[in-house]
Amino acid sequence: MKKPFITKEQAEEIIAKYPTPFHIYDEKGIRENARNLNKAFSWNKGYKEYFAVKATPNPYILKILQEEGCGVDCSSLTELMMSECCGFKGSDIMFSSNVTPKADFLKARELGAYINLDDFTHIEYLDELCGIPETICCRYNPGGHFSIENQIMDNPGEAKYGFTHDQIIEGFKILKEKGAKHFGIHAFLASNTVSNAYYPKLARILFELAVELKEKTGADIKFINLSGGVGIAYEPDKPQNDIFEIGEGVHKAFDEILVPAGLGDVAIFTELGRYMLAPYGHLITTCTHHKHTYKEYVGVDACACNLMRPAMYGAYHHITVLGKENAPCDHKYDVTGGLCENNDKFAVDRMLPEIDTGDILCIHDTGAHGFSMGYNYNGKLRSAEILLKEDGTTQLIRRAETPADYFATFDFSHILDKYSKDNND
């Protein structure tokens, strides 16, 4: 069962001020989840979660996670800038990017972030640009398939990320020659895993690599970053990950591999995005249209621009019709947005209660990779983001875009002056 964290009455109250569509986040859920994660890894002295900013790039969300002891994982200049403004600095920031522009590396270096190199050639690139920092991390890609109990979870051999095995050994040697004193290792081998075995299996691969790197290069390994990839079950009837079992699985691998190798002081880092936020966000949208043709369509005021995952990946997102939580799901609908794109459907052949125009729909699990993947196709405007605070009040944490925002990048021309910000404010 998936239960919305707001009621119909709460939604109506918010909508009176901020019309749909909007994303809403549950502060209480975010904090509890972050605390459990920290508890699950508390056996490791240096443990730190670096929230993957790209999942939910909103400073108010970053501040909440900061208060729970998290750092940030940035992948671009603007994510670094947002993190800087939120007061993250130095070892609070992991910079994991690829095909990295110079300006991004320079900003990461300026902030003293841990830099995670995606590629062998980045050693030279970074060195020439701003020198190699004392602590440096490299991203590993073992190639081939990544499987758990003979089940293929993902295909690292086809992934663009990371150093090969031989490159990372050679890379550590070169980095040492160039003055690096402390090292990190990072890998992201499978996305949205719903399996308590993913992190422990990944940890074993990285821990064994750490032992080998120590032996072959003499590198001082300071941290191992398990990155993201711990997922959530989007379907209502599937079991969720158990973060305590995951933490214990990593602990066991740590005790079996790192401790005997004299690496018991290594810090474990994570860079979770989806796991930290996805369940604690809803996309709230209103039914505006009905259409009866070869199928039954429910048209809503949100579209794939607000949540791309169903259109892009065919991803399932559970839908609750607020106020009809207990009504029988005896109607089959396609729930669609208004883009001129037939894949703009939040649900296909979904059994739902009978939906009336004006009904408020709650699309679940949109807290990560939801708003952030949004776009402006068809001239659609980005929605507001709202925070449901622990005391039950709400706060606007990003206003909705206006047409003036959409036209703002034409500010060098006079063609759209009529709709410019200055004329609207």
Ligand X SMILES: *Cc1c(COP(=O)(O)O)cnc(C)c1O
Find the part of the chain contacting ligand X (CB under 6 A) among 205-213, 221-229, 301-309, 347-355. Answer: 221-229
Determine the Cα–Cα distance for residues 94 and 207; give it in Å rounded to an integer: 20
DSSP-derived 3-state class of residue 176:
helix
Q: Which is nearer to ligand X, 55 or 219 (CB)?
A: 55
Taking CB under 6 A as the rule, does residue 154 contact ligand X? no
Instruction: Check residue 133 and report its DSSP letter.
Output: -
Site size with ligand X, rule: CB under 6 A:
18
Q: Which is nearer to ligand X, 118 or 301 (CB)?
A: 118
DSSP codes of every residue in 231-282: ----STTSPPP-HHHHHHHHHHHIIIIITTTT-TTPEEEE--SHHHHGGGEE
Taking CB under 6 A as the rule, does residue 122 contact ligand X? no
Q: Which is nearer to ligand X, 257 or 368 (CB)?
A: 368
Determine the Cα–Cα distance for residues 344 and 409; give it in Å rounded to an integer: 26
Taking CB under 6 A as the rule, does residue 119 contact ligand X? no
Angle at 72 between CA 79 and CA 6, to 5 degrees: 90
Find the part of the chain contacting ligand X (CB under 6 A) among 80-88, 152-160, 174-182, 185-193. Answer: 185-193
Structure-block tokens of residue 151: 């089940």
Find the part of the chain contacting ligand X (CB under 6 A) among 141-149, 225-233, 316-324, 333-341. Answer: 225-233
Binding mask 64-83 for ligand X (x = CB under 6 A): ---------x-x--------
Taking CB under 6 A as the rule, does residue 303 contact ligand X? no
Q: Which is nearer to ligand X, 54 or 251 (CB)?
A: 54
DSSP codes of every residue in 355-381: --TTPEEEE-S-TTTTGGG---GGGPP
* Number of alpha helices (DSSP H) and beta strands (DSSP E) in the chain: 13, 19
CB of 155 to ligand X, least distance (A): 16
Determine the Cα–Cα distance for residues 183 and 19; give it in Å rounded to an integer: 49
Virtual CA dihedral for 334, 339, 342, 343, nearest 10 degrees? Answer: -80
Q: Which is nearer to ligand X, 94 or 123 (CB)?
A: 94
Chain centroid offset of residue 148 CA: 23
Q: Which is nearer to ligand X, 75 or 241 (CB)?
A: 75
Residue number with the shortest CB distance to ligand X? 228
Taking CB under 6 A as the rule, does residue 229 contact ligand X? yes
Instruction: Kindly report each contact of residues 312-317 with a partner whose C-beta sits within 8 Å and lies 24 or more positions away, as own/partner.
Output: 312/373, 315/234, 316/234, 316/235, 317/234, 317/283, 317/346, 317/347, 317/363, 317/364, 317/365, 317/366
Of 122, 222, 274, 364, the residue at the interface with ligand X (CB under 6 A) is 274
Of 48, 54, 107, 324, the residue at the interface with ligand X (CB under 6 A) is 54
Of 140, 163, 188, 269, the residue at the interface with ligand X (CB under 6 A) is 188
DSSP codes of every residue in 296-322: EEEEES--TTT--HHHHH-----EEET
Q: Which is nearer to ligand X, 232 or 284 (CB)?
A: 232
Find the part of the chain contacting ligand X (CB under 6 A) among 149-157, 253-261, 271-279, 351-359. Answer: 271-279
Is residue 278 within 8 A of residue 346, CB to CB? The reply is no
Is residue 338 within 8 A of residue 349, CB to CB? The reply is no
Taking CB under 6 A as the rule, does residue 195 contact ligand X? no
Structure-block tokens of residue 59: 């400073």
DSSP-derived 3-state class of residue 205:
helix
CB of 273 to ligand X, least distance (A): 3
Binding mask 355-384 for ligand X (x = CB under 6 A): -------------x----------------
Is residue 318 within 8 A of residue 365, CB to CB? The reply is yes
Considering only residues 394 to 423 of the shown chain, the ones binding ligand X according to CB under 6 A are none
Taking CB under 6 A as the rule, does residue 44 contact ligand X? no
Taking CB under 6 A as the rule, does residue 52 contact ligand X? yes
Q: Which is nearer to ligand X, 126 or 335 (CB)?
A: 126
Residues in contact with ligand X by the rule CB under 6 A = 52, 54-55, 73, 75, 96, 188, 191-192, 227-229, 271-275, 368
